[in-house]
Amino acid sequence: MTGIQFNGILTRIGTRSDGSLGLTVETAELIPEDKLSVLGMQNIPCQVTFIPNDADATPPKPIKGEFETKTISARIRAAIFVFWRQAGEPGTFESFYHSEGEKILNGIKAKLKPV
């Protein structure tokens, strides 16, 4: 997949319960092909850089987010916790975590070639 670049305005920033931010970016009017390019990026993890149009030559400040600071196992555990909450907190989290972890492992094992 090819990345995209466009000028936009960051119009809204909101905090979320998991410590992340929700951002709204507005564009100028786009032709249909460019709209499709932007829509194709929805829900795909991307590198995001905000550089003001009138900025000097100072390089952008890198900000480390969840993907750079949390291990994969910590991210999986956090996602399962949110899933447990959204499912109405059935049973204890530890039993739910164990059950969902087994499902993940069994899915991976099913893809392995016989040894």
**Interval 39-61: pLDDT, tens:** 988 888 888 888 887 756 566 66
| Structure tokens given for 101 | 């972890």
Burial 16-32, CB ≥16 within 10 A → b, else e: eeeeeeeeeeeeeeeee
Entry pTM: 0.46
Model pLDDT, residue 56: 65
pLDDT band at 4 (very low <50, low <70, confident <90, very high): confident
Model pLDDT, residue 52: 81
pLDDT band at 62 (very low <50, low <70, confident <90, very high): low
Model pLDDT, residue 100: 94
**Interval 64-113: pLDDT, tens:** 665 556 788 888 888 898 899 999 999 999 999 999 999 999 999 999 99
The C-alpha atoms of residue 56 and residue 40 are separated, in whole angstroms, by 31
